[in-house]
Amino acid sequence: MADKLAIQADSLKKIYGKDNTEIVAMKDATMDVAYGEIVALLGPSGSGKSTFLTAVGLINPPTSGQIKIGGQLVLNGSQPMVNLKYFRKKYLGFVFQKSNLIPFLSARENVQIALEINGYSPQDSSKRALEIMNELAIGDRADNFPSMLSGGQQQRVSICRALSNEPDVILADEPTAALDSHLGRQVMELFRDISHKRGTAVIVVTHDQRSLDVFDTVYEMEDGVIKLRQEIS
Amino acid sequence: MNLAIKDIRHNLGRFVLTAIGIGMLLMIVMGMGGIYRGISDDATLLIDNIGADIWIVQHNTRGPFAELSRIPQNLVYRAMVIPGVATARSFVQHTIQRQNNIGKQLRMTIVGLDWPIDKGEWVVLESGRILNQNHYEMIADTSLGLNLGEKIKLGKNTYTVVGITSSMISSGGDGIGFFTIQDALDIQLDKTGEAVRLDRVSRSNRVKKNDLGLKQPNLIELASQKSSQLPGLARPEISSVILKLKPGANLKQVENIIEGWKDVSIFTSNGERQLLLKGTVEKVRKQIGLFRILLTIISAIIMALILYTLTLEKLHSIALLKLIGASNWVVLKLILQEALILGVSGYCIAYILGKKIFPNFPRRVILSNDDLFQLAIIVLIISVISSLLGVWKAMQVTPNEALN
């Protein structure tokens, strides 16, 4: 199984501040996610979910613990073992609570820019962006600016962008928080399809208890510790 | 993908207004240079066009463009016999301020041409002709607002505008009117009938009290006649004598001869030009130069603030770009290109507006290619420097900030 693991987060700990101002945001957080697996991470506000996600996303390194991606050690405590920016660009995709699209780029260009940053030519990236958008049924809004799209459409574009460089891992931080339950469900199902069809490991931080059936595994985080709540498959 | 172009496209209205604002500031910077160039060009135009090699002026003065110079008219004949001199002409220049035919103030620099040697052939005419007679004709610069054929009364005489020229402005910024020497002196020395009568009485009284008058009573009668009929009174003085040398004549040799005359000073055309530029124009140049530097600095500060604000608005997008793996160069390029596009657009707007507006200014604003090129380089440098604050801010942004 270990050779099929996309993410191995081992005993992650994150401490902010020092001495009197010290806050332990995450302690002993461990999680393994396999390729093609979609997991949910539940937990109350302040439990350390986002800290965990940013640590695994190589944005906010942990104080201690290890993170392996695709079996390669990338962070040993706060010490980077690889070029994090390159690794993030190559292997990770992000989806946020708000769609976080660049407002001055059209939907297609928001996807295209991620591809160009990954070295695609402008022509290839434009073509590829449209392909992904058609795949996720948002191609008809390709030329619209984010402000002209609904919340659900924006989130779809955001997912297209996350998928554009065919990452091994997608990290989604409350992606349905700004959507109604129907759209929220659609987005969660989209993640599941992506995960299962493409073999992408997906971690979704969510509060939404109604869509838990779409996940393979559900974890719960409390006081900086991750506990397995439910393994569906 | 050019992110700067995309950002501008999305906020086109605001960008255009900002560029217009920057453009107007740059137009003033451009105009300042043009005003200086205009003043300098106007000041030297007459010297450059009149085609003189040597200016003879009153001893120890710097000539008619720098200060008052008075020399006798007969100096022309003395100068004419110097070996190597092709022509010697009288030159008169003075400024008057009178009311024109419709009661408006008319300020004009009067230049006297030594008719018939000089009928104004060197004056570039827009319409009309040169001076065909010794009296009562004039060539007027367009800035004087006189029309071809218009008659204007100056002193006791009426002069007809027979030619119109343009860009003939004195160093003081007044339009030039070209007259014959005789007319120029008449206008300068015009007196009312009462003043002439009082002069004659005064002259008679002086002779009456003089020993000579007592011994020769007919002199008292002579003294009350026209001054032009009195051989004892010199003819009116002129401002300078200008010499044109024969081809191949030795300038230095001619200079040496005239320098031996103790009643006059001489300058070459270039010397007179330099005197004018260093005297009359120098202070204006410094004043405008300093003002131009201040405006350039202000433009740079304003551009820096605008670009900084534009960058602040994009911090989240910049963080997002960094999060998805964009290098610092991608972000730097976005800000730098936007700064350059703003600078170049501002410059183009400044040029277009300036071309439309400057011709309506009371004095000439000359946009020379050298000045325009220099300003273009300055604008490029300002654009880069003013983007540094925004670049610095963008470099501080971490990918984490995309998550907020």
Give the gap in angstroms from C-alpha A182 to the nearest C-alpha of chain B.
Answer: 24
Residues B319 and B385 in one domain: yes
Residues B342 and B385 in one domain: yes
Nearby residues of A85 by Cβ (< 8 Å), 6 or more positions away: B322, B325, B327
Asked if the model's pLDDT at residue B268 lies above 70, the reply is: yes
The residue-averaged pLDDT of A32-40 equals 91
**Cβ contact (<8 Å) for A117 and B317?**
no
Which of B17-26, B218-227, B395-404 is predicted most confidently? B17-26
Residues B79 and B133 in one domain: yes
Give per-residue pLDDT as tens, B323-340: 888 888 988 999 999 999
Residues B76 and B23 in one domain: no
Give me the domain span that covers residue A120: 2-16+25-231
**Mean pLDDT score across all residues of chain B:** 86
Confidence of residue B220 (pLDDT cuts 50, 70, 90): confident
The closest CB to that of B325, out of A50, A88, A173, belongs to A88
CB count, 10 Å around CB of B177?
26
Using a CB–CB cutoff of 8 Å, tell me whether B212 touches chain A.
no
Residues B397 and B289 in one domain: yes
Residues B109 and B255 in one domain: yes
Confidence of residue B227 (pLDDT cuts 50, 70, 90): low
Using a CB–CB cutoff of 8 Å, tell me whether B102 touches chain A.
no
Give the gap in angstroms from C-alpha A129 to the nearest C-alpha of chain B.
Answer: 13
- Residue B322 in any domain: the answer is yes
Give per-residue pLDDT as tens, B328-379: 898 899 999 999 999 999 999 999 999 999 988 878 888 999 999 999 999 9
Residues B132 and B255 in one domain: yes
Residues B8 and B114 in one domain: no
pLDDT at B44: 81
Give me the domain span that covers residue B213: 190-234
pLDDT at B254: 92
Confidence of residue A201 (pLDDT cuts 50, 70, 90): very high
B113 φψ region: left (φ > 0), alpha (ψ -120 to 50), beta (else) = beta
Asked if the model's pLDDT at residue A233 lies above 60, the reply is: no
Identity of the residue numbered B188: Q
pLDDT at B404: 66
Measured between beta carbons, the chain B residues lying within 8 angstroms of A85 are 322, 325, 327
Confidence of residue B230 (pLDDT cuts 50, 70, 90): low
pLDDT at A203: 93
Give the gap in angstroms from C-alpha A48 to the nearest C-alpha of chain B.
Answer: 14
Higher pLDDT, residue B199 or B30: B30
The residue-averaged pLDDT of B302-319 equals 87
**Cβ contact (<8 Å) for A109 and B402?**
no
pLDDT at B337: 92
Asked if the model's pLDDT at residue A47 lies above 80, the reply is: yes
Using a CB–CB cutoff of 8 Å, tell me whether B344 touches chain A.
no
Confidence of residue A232 (pLDDT cuts 50, 70, 90): low
Residues B81 and B218 in one domain: no
**Cβ contact (<8 Å) for B324 and A86?**
no
Asked if the model's pLDDT at residue B162 lies above 90, the reply is: yes
**Cβ contact (<8 Å) for B323 and A117?**
no
Complete edge-to-edge strand list for the sheet that includes strand A217-222: A92-95, A169-173, A201-205, A38-42, A217-222, A225-231
Domain count, chain B: 3
The whole-angstrom separation of Cα B59 and Cα B72 is 12
Q: A58, A110, A113: which to substitute to probe chain B, counting the most B Cβ within 10 Å?
A: A113
**Mean pLDDT score across all residues of chain A:** 86
How much is the ipTM here? Answer: 0.78
Residues B113 and B199 in one domain: no
Helix (H), strand (E), coil (C) string for chain A? CHHHEEEEEEEEEEEECCHHHCEEEEEEEEEEEECCCEEEEECCCCCCHHHHHHHHCCCCCCCEEEEEECCEEEEECCEECCCHHHHHHHHEEEECCCCCCCCCCCHHHHHHHHHHHCCCCHHHHHHHHHHHHHHCCCHHHCCCCHHHCCHHHHHHHHHHHHHHCCCCEEEEECCCCCCCHHHHHHHHHHHHHHHHHHCCEEEEECCCHHHHHHCCEEEEEECCEEEEEEECC
Residues B110 and B253 in one domain: yes
pLDDT at A206: 87
Confidence of residue A3 (pLDDT cuts 50, 70, 90): very low
The closest CB to that of A145, out of B10, B317, B330, belongs to B10
Domain count, chain A: 1
Task: Calculate Rg over the CA atoms of chain A.
Answer: 17
Residues B355 and B287 in one domain: yes
- The CATH number given to whatever domain includes residue A39 is 3.40.50.300
Q: A51, A109, A117, A123: which to substitute to probe chain B, counting the most B Cβ within 10 Å?
A: A117
